[in-house]
Amino acid sequence: MSEFVTLEVSDGIGTIRLARPPMNALNRQVQDELAVAARAAAVDPAVKAVIVYGGEKVFAAGADVKEMAEMDFAQISDAVAGIQAGIGAVAAIPKPTVAAITGYALGGGLEVALSADRRIAGDNAKVGVPEILLGIIPGGGGTQRLARLMGPAKAKDLVFTGRFVGADEALAMGLIDEVVAPDDVYTAARKWASQFVGGASRAIAAAKAAIDEGLNTDLETGLKIEQHLFAGLFATEDQSIGMASFIENGPGKAEFTGR
């Protein structure tokens, strides 16, 4: 039974909920529980899209510094692998994912949000990677995902300075994708996620894999990945349903099975 991270499923949407008061600090237990919840959401056929949420007040204000400060080189080497595994499990969910950000999303908290496909934040949110102020660098994927998301110059600005960024600036730089009133964050995330409940799940998973895997390689290899995934969808029930529905009724009327 997880203590700090839960997966709740309703109406086809899974909510991975971080709940370690007061600031959802990501200690090793939270990281391990996050990986368990993400893997459960990945394999549950009832889950068509996933929201990662820290609650009404805060998303996650970073790693547990007190825990890290007591570690030696060997221990932190194992711990950082655990951090990346927990966050990587969210990135690997083969379904649309959205981080619903309220309050602070800092350090490891922002790295969790970066592992989602989309980020929706309250207009009072503060995001950043302040690890440099501790004499270290982001270790949960921040240096890599920030650079891929925003480009190296903007990523270096955030990583080198450790500064906190408000919602409007984060939106302008592409760090978050939508800003709403703080009380509307989860509702907005759920609205976005609900689009995919009746969707062609295998095609969505293939699209996500094509984009994510393609970003990690050159264009020629990326095109081959796309070609392979495209052809594979012709072995699915949804492809037959979608094309037959298009021919008979026009676009947007297919009732997919997810198979």
- Tally DSSP H helices, then E strands, for the chain: 11, 9
Residue whose pair of structure tokens reads 């368990």 in the numeric block: 36
Tokens coding 219: 């264009």
Q: Tell me which residues are annotated as active site.
A: 111, 131
70 contacts 27 by C-beta, under 8 angstroms: no
Residue whose pair of structure tokens reads 């008979």 in the numeric block: 248
Cα–Cα distances in Å, from 72 out to 59, 83, 141, 232? 28, 16, 21, 47
Cβ burial of 218 (10 Å; 0-12, 13-18, 19+) is exposed
Tokens coding 53: 């949420």
